[in-house]
Amino acid sequence: MPPNTTATTGDTATTGAAPAKSGRKKGRKARLLVLLLVLAVIAGIGYGGFWSVSTVRASLPQTTGTITLDGLAGPVDVKRDGNGIPQIYASSDEDLFMAQGYVQAQDRFYEMDVRRHMTAGRLSEMFGKSQIKNDEFLRTLGWDRVAKQEYDTKLSASTKRYLDAYAKGVNAYLKGKSGKDLSLEYAALGLTNDYKPQQWTPVDSVSWLKAMAWDLRGNMRDEIDRALMTSRLGPQQIRDLYPEYPYSRNKPIVQEGQYDALTKSFEQSAAPGTPVGTGTGDTTGAGTGLGTADTTGAGTAGGATGSSAGTTGTGGSGTPATGGSDLTSQLGGLYSSLDDLPTAVGVNGQGIGSNSWVVAGKHTITGKPLLANDPHLEASLPGVWYQMGLHCRTVSAKCQYDVTGYTFAGMPGVIIGHNGDIAWGMTNSGVDVSDLYLEKVTAGGYLYDGKVRPFKTRQETIKVAGGASKTIVVRETQDGMPLVSDRDDELVQVGKRATVNSAAPDRGDGYGVALKWTALDPSATMDAVFALDKASDWNGFRAAAAKFDVPSQNLVYADTRDNIGYTLPGKIPTRSAADDGSVPAPGWDAKYRWTGYLQQDELPYEYNPKRGYIVTANQAVVDKDTYPYTLTTDWGYGTRSQRITDLIESKIKGGGKISTDDMRQMQLDDSSEIAKLMVPKLLKINLDDKNVRDAQKLLEGWDYTQDSDSAAAAYFNAVWRNVLKLAFGNKLPKELRVKGQCLWVDKIDSTGPVDDDTKVRECGQRAADQAQPDGGDRWFEVVRNLMKKPDSDWWKTPKQGTRPAAGNMDQLFARAMIDARWELTAKLGKDIDTWSWGRLHRLFLKNQTLGTDGPRALQYLLNRGPWKLNGGEAAVDATGWNAAGGYNVVWVPSMRMVVNLADLDKSKWINLTGASGHAFSAHYTDQTDKWAKGELLPWSYSSKAVDKSTSDTLVLKP
């Protein structure tokens, strides 16, 4: 077992109950009051008095007949199919986007309203004092301020016209309507405050891009986690948990690509195998100081020498170490603040990813490309995506769009989809576009390059429903980094006992924590959305993508002329050799500041590769030995991407051609790659207990698929969870473990472990769906490497009650099989014939505001589920679960699509929930059952196909 991490008991919760609820719920206590009042009303006057038929029906949209809208230049047709998905037909761009705003507001205005309050840091206006801390943090980031700067100074005139038209459409829908006319949630809010929705503004739409960028910002959580680990783990142990990307086994996205300017740049800046900005250090773990990295890319977080705990010794370069209990607590506080923030597009966890791939016509039945995409996001109700088509009756200079796909309610245009010429999909690139900096704060400002510089400050007033307003002061460095430590009590003082060398600045009352993030600089990303929607070829697509500054996404491409491609856009920083962005860096030292940004012609892309397909699933973009820049140290580990590649290759090598349905079936592949590695070993282990042997036999002959009715999948995943807990989870610091799960561990102080065998009881502090080890494919790689070291200390775990101790890998695997048997006995019953993966692996869809907490009656009205799901963590069918927290599904393929470039009307799509955000609409979750079964809906595009599928037609008239 690693030093100073001996666990003397299991991870039993303090009360003996289940783990505490998600930390994300801590800030919603005031909402509980709202819900209790609703329940009181229900109890007092019955459902008919409050949730009356008229209340419910008042907010359902009109989908047939005629509505007059001031501001339209001509009539607009809104044609909805049997699933309520709208296709809009107009004769000018402005009318098209005005109608889009109107229609989205019909279906989703409450969702739009909540999310614009989130992006502006104004949730307290709706939900009261429980949201003040969230609002303080969001005001500190200043998303809406940056969005306003973008609208005022960065966006093209045409984009501003479209945003204005969209806002005009939303406001036309709001005109003359009270809260209950918009959504029944407003009726509930009306019980406790007099909140009334305000007019929509173009900046509300632009702010959404900031929220999207925040959720897809890269490795900030890994950056925090590595720093937190130093309180319990040494440099080599941290490296064990952040292994090298397996380039030889899991191929990067770009294999035959071009880099334009990179040939010259590469020769000038680095030799092959020596990426620029990867940090310094040696293989022993003695780094050169805070923020530096060793040759594996895992930061040593202090360059500690001579201590297995990584918290003592002297860091080099005049920089501090990140060890020390206070700094650990404060970084934990920052993580807690991040965790409490509501998610925008549903990414608030680790391990979340997406799949997108494209196959050229030479490998398809149709002779033209097929393109698939399924972004993996946190499950929400309503789903984050909104399906629609935007069609000009005649494409011309006056009306330029004929596009269909997925967009966000609250934002004009289409984000992912196709037009008449091209199709595109997105996955998160994961490039590192944000860094945390420790700042030496004084009464006069902050220290930078030996001088004290004054902060830039601004006041923000937060209005609070049912309470007094609160004013805060936001401090920023001269280069625009907000001091996020001002927003959390645990971050006010930083590192009182953190080890630093004599050259580091005196900490005084503590170091602050500041955030550097590309999205805090105004950009023209909104221009990219409209440019993508009307691009007609590869060059137009690349030019549009170049405008997509934040968030950086992997973009795959196909067109009707049988071309396929990939490009990586984004505003991506470059760093000096002193810093690779893997851990918080010293803000007082200029050499840790970003050195610039990669230019578009320095970013990798690929066009018509000889292999005839391109796969992106959050793996490494490019091999580190062929690219001179460090994009990140925290790629996904390529498990999904390589499985998709293998499925494509097996079809091609077998002489077959790929069909639309083959693409769908690939999306549903639920094989467990970690099971393929571990099960042969598990079957060789001798077990004394007959009941455990019976469970072990479930794995004999198992094909490694994780179908919902599979008992073998249930047992293996329970074994996997217990392997992770015993080998790693019980040895991590409390800041990474599940809240409420407590252990007796070796006592530590600022210099490392105390040598007197003193034990202290430490309870986990992290939400169950955020804790580590989460079981993602990073942990696949960790276990794969350590299986080659069967006597590693990681495999050692103490005896617990009647459960045996383990001194090597086989013994720990045996212990995990025992623990898993009795865990599933408690959850599913003693009879293994009744076990199934779907009984453990369930999806609950919860309304993200009034359906997350509170009286069961209201939750019943707003929430849906459960669904028993196939799939699993790091499977292509990525119905993800957090192994530290339990088996319930926490992220999902948020939509699925397959575009057929030979006949666009034969494309297929599905959404997680439905078109409507109204709880009693027929289209609230009408796609979910089909989604859970892996089915896809027809996706009409041509006017003929749309007319054939139309159920309701609404005419909007000027």
| Mean pLDDT (whole number) for 262-281 | 35
pTM of the entire predicted model: 0.88
Tell me what pLDDT residue 493 has. Answer: 31
Nearest to 580 by CA among 253, 240, 288: 288
pLDDT at 641 over 60: yes
Query: How far apart, in whole angstroms, are the C-alpha atoms of residue 895 and residue 156?
Result: 31
Let me know: does 895 contact 375? Beta carbons within 8 Å: yes
The region that residue 385 occupies, defined by phi over 0 for left and psi between -120 and 50 for alpha, beta otherwise, is beta
How buried is residue 157: exposed, middle or buried, by Cβ count under 10 Å (0-12/13-18/19+)? Answer: exposed
Question: What percent of the chain clears pLDDT 90, i.e. is strictly above it?
Answer: 65
Nearest to 811 by CA among 627, 682, 636: 682
> Among the listed ranges 159-173, 304-318, 352-366, 837-851, which one has the minimum average pLDDT value?
304-318
Work out the pLDDT band at 321, boundaries 50, 70, 90.
very low
Q: Which CA distances in Å does 788 have to 791, 811, 828?
A: 9, 15, 34
Query: How far apart, in whole angstroms, are the C-alpha atoms of residue 644 and residue 663?
Result: 10
Token output for 722: 């217990």
Token output for 59: 């907010």
Work out the pLDDT band at 487, boundaries 50, 70, 90.
confident
Q: Which residues are bridge partners to 197 per DSSP?
A: none
What does the pLDDT look like over 292-309, one tens digit per residue? 233 333 332 332 222 222
Tell me what pLDDT residue 775 has. Answer: 95
Work out the pLDDT band at 80, boundaries 50, 70, 90.
very high
Alpha helices in 841-942 (DSSP H): 856-862, 928-933
Nearest to 505 by CA among 492, 516, 515, 494: 494
What does the pLDDT look like over 882-929, one tens digit per residue? 999 999 999 999 999 999 999 999 999 999 999 999 999 999 999 999
What does the pLDDT look like over 388-432, one tens digit per residue? 999 999 999 999 999 999 999 999 999 999 999 999 999 999 899
Let me know: does 885 contact 11? Beta carbons within 8 Å: no
Nearest to 205 by CA among 249, 244, 170, 251: 170
Tell me what pLDDT residue 51 has. Answer: 52
H or E, element range at 161: helix 157-174
Q: What is the DSSP string of 564-589?
A: EEEE--S--EE--TT--SSS-EETT-
Tell me what pLDDT residue 746 has. Answer: 81
H or E, element range at 95: helix 93-119
What does the pLDDT look like over 256-271, one tens digit per residue? 976 654 444 433 333 3
More confident residue, 173 or 851: 173
Nearby residues of 854 by Cβ (< 8 Å), 6 or more positions away: 31, 32, 34, 35, 36, 38, 39
Nearest to 879 by CA among 832, 922, 933, 952: 933
Query: How far apart, in whole angstroms, are the C-alpha atoms of residue 606 and residue 622?
Result: 11
Work out the pLDDT band at 198, boundaries 50, 70, 90.
very high
What does the pLDDT look like over 790-814, one tens digit per residue? 999 999 999 998 999 999 999 999 9
Query: How far apart, in whole angstroms, are the C-alpha atoms of residue 352 and residue 99?
Result: 34
| Mean pLDDT (whole number) for 713-742 | 95
Residue type at position 837: W
Tell me what pLDDT residue 322 has. Answer: 41
The label of the residue with tokens 């999207």 reads 212
Using DSSP, state whether 295 is helix, strand or coil.
coil
Nearby residues of 241 by Cβ (< 8 Å), 6 or more positions away: 229, 233, 298, 728, 778, 782
Using DSSP, state whether 81 is helix, strand or coil.
strand
C-alpha dihedral sign at 859, 863, 865, 869: negative
Tell me what pLDDT residue 827 has. Answer: 98
Query: How far apart, in whole angstroms, are the C-alpha atoms of residue 902 and residue 405?
Result: 17
Buried b (16+ CB within 10 A) or exposed e, 438-452: bbbbeeebbbbeeee
Tell me what pLDDT residue 507 has. Answer: 56
Residue type at position 638: G
Using DSSP, state whether 866 is helix, strand or coil.
strand
Please compute, for residue 754, the number of CA atoms within 13 A of its CA located in the half-sphere on the CB side.
Answer: 10
pLDDT at 937 over 60: yes
Residue type at position 864: R
Omega prior to 866 cis, within 30 of 0: yes
Tell me what pLDDT residue 225 has. Answer: 85
> What separation, in Å, do the N-terminal and C-terminal C-alpha atoms of the chain show?
74
Average pLDDT over all residues of the chain: 84
Tell me what pLDDT residue 577 has. Answer: 80
Query: How far apart, in whole angstroms, are the C-alpha atoms of residue 150 and residue 575?
Result: 26
pLDDT at 314 over 60: no
Query: How far apart, in whole angstroms, are the C-alpha atoms of residue 329 and residue 894?
Result: 34
Work out the pLDDT band at 274, boundaries 50, 70, 90.
very low
Q: Which CA distances in Å does 341 have to 8, 130, 491?
A: 35, 12, 16
The label of the residue with tokens 């040895």 reads 731
Other CB atoms within 10 Å distance of the CB of residue 774: 24
Nearby residues of 176 by Cβ (< 8 Å), 6 or more positions away: none
pLDDT at 681 over 70: yes
How buried is residue 860: exposed, middle or buried, by Cβ count under 10 Å (0-12/13-18/19+)? Answer: exposed
Degrees to nearest 5, angle at CA 480 with 478 and 485: 100
| Mean pLDDT (whole number) for 317-333 | 47
Q: What is the DSSP string of 602-671?
A: GS-EEES-TTSEEEESSS-SB-GGG-SB---S----SHHHHHHHHHHHHHHHTT--B-HHHHHHHHT--B
Query: How far apart, in whole angstroms, are the C-alpha atoms of residue 525 and residue 444?
Result: 36
H or E, element range at 88: strand 86-90
pLDDT at 582 over 90: no
What does the pLDDT look like over 527-580, one tens digit per residue? 999 999 999 999 999 999 999 998 889 999 999 999 999 999 999 999 988 788
Query: How far apart, in whole angstroms, are the C-alpha atoms of residue 285 and residue 303?
Result: 7
Tell me what pLDDT residue 851 has. Answer: 63
pLDDT at 460 over 90: yes
Work out the pLDDT band at 250, boundaries 50, 70, 90.
very high
More confident residue, 230 or 386: 386
Buried b (16+ CB within 10 A) or exposed e, 60-76: bbebeeebebeebeebb
Let me know: does 776 contact 430? Beta carbons within 8 Å: no
H or E, element range at 148: helix 143-149
Nearest to 365 by CA among 652, 752, 672: 652
Q: What is the chain's alpha carbon radius of gyration, rounded to the nearest angstrom? A: 27
pLDDT at 102 over 50: yes
List the beta strands (DSSP E) in 345-504. Answer: 354-359, 370-378, 386-392, 402-407, 416-419, 422-428, 434-442, 445-448, 451-453, 456-462, 470-476
Buried b (16+ CB within 10 A) or exposed e, 116-130: bbbbbbbbbbbbbbb
pLDDT at 278 over 50: no
pLDDT at 313 over 80: no
Nearby residues of 363 by Cβ (< 8 Å), 6 or more positions away: 612, 613, 648, 651, 652, 657, 658
Using DSSP, state whether 272 is helix, strand or coil.
coil
Strands 416-419 and 370-378: unpaired
Omega prior to 375 cis, within 30 of 0: no
Using DSSP, state whether 361 is helix, strand or coil.
helix
Residue type at position 547: K
pLDDT at 40 over 50: no
Let me know: does 572 contact 597? Beta carbons within 8 Å: yes
